């Protein structure tokens, strides 16, 4: 997302008329009923107009910039986002119904791309997935911005649910698919559920990256987890 960083443009001191129009549009938008809002979205899709892509990117980047500057998610207003992006509030409302919907798109944008799986074996793919989880954990520890976003998300149930639906759940399904492939190929035992095995593999990494921020994230942690899962916890003969 940082590849398309836009300079923050200050509001034009002479733009009193534009600001008055934006204020009126914002007030009218907030007064709309849910049915009217859906009707507007059907008539004018949020995405798909090439000439608006730059404005949309500027808005998303403005939210990221403000969060990086330490502004809490709950303190961001549409007016401040618009001022930082150098657009009018009406430009934002034409694309998003409000802050919650805008933040959901920001969450999608700041997520790193999923790793390319080697495909040589199920165990190799699982190792790649766990290593990606470890790196995301390291990034969150070193970035006040990412930490702030995660903390704010957890305090907002709708955002947290949407984050799980669009990010966490697809990752879990992808790992489950690899586990099932490992069962079919004979790399993993077939007398346990794929869901349990997935939990046993991802659980230790999630615990260390999300719930115990002070835990070590060794370079070979993915290998340690897979080896422990395959060999079990019984003492060696």
- The pLDDT tens digits of the residues spanning 69-116 come to 888 877 889 999 999 999 999 999 999 988 888 888 888 888 888 999
156 pLDDT above the threshold of 90 = no
Q: What is the dihedral of CA 34, 99, 16, 61, to 10 degrees?
A: -140
- How far apart are the C-alpha atoms of 54 and 149, rounded to whole Å? 24
Confidence at residue 173, expressed as pLDDT on a 0 to 100 scale: 97
Helix/strand/coil percentages in the chain, nearest 5: 70, 0, 30
What per-residue confidence (pLDDT) applies to 84? 95
pLDDT confidence of residue 59: 95
Residue, of 149 and 105, whose pLDDT is higher = 105
Q: What is the pTM of this model?
A: 0.69
Give the Cα separation of 183 and 41 in Å (integer): 45
What is the radius of gyration, based on Cα positions, of the chain?
22
Work out the pLDDT band at 10, boundaries 50, 70, 90: very low
pLDDT for the residue 113: 86
Average pLDDT over residues 111-125: 93
């Amino acid at each position: 997302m940082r590849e398309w960083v836009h300079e923050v443009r200050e509001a034009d001191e002479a733009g009193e008329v534009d600001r008055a129009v934006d204020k009126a549009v914002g007030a009218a938008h907030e007064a709309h009923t849910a049915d009217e809002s859906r009707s507007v979205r059907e008539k004018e899709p949020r995405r798909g107009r090439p000439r608006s892509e730059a404005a949309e990117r500027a808005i998303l980047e403005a939210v990221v910039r403000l969060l990086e500057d330490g502004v809490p998610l709950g303190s961001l207003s549409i007016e401040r986002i618009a001022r930082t992006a150098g657009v009018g509030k009406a430009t934002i409302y034409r694309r998003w119904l409000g802050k919650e919907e805008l933040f959901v798109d920001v969450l999608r944008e700041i997520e790193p791309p999923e790793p390319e799986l080697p495909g040589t074996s199920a165990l190799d793919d699982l190792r790649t997935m766990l290593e990606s989880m470890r790196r995301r954990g390291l990034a969150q520890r070193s970035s006040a911005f990412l930490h702030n976003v995660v903390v704010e998300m957890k305090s907002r149930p709708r955002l947290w649910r949407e984050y799980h639906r669009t990010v966490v759940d697809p990752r879990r399904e992808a790992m489950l698919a690899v586990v099932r492939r490992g069962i079919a190929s004979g790399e993993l035992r077939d007398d346990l559920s794929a869901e349990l095995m997935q939990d046993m593999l991802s659980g230790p990494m999630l615990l260390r990256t999300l719930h115990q921020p002070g835990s070590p994230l060794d370079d070979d942690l993915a290998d340690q987890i897979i080896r422990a899962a395959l060999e079990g916890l019984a003492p060696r003969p």
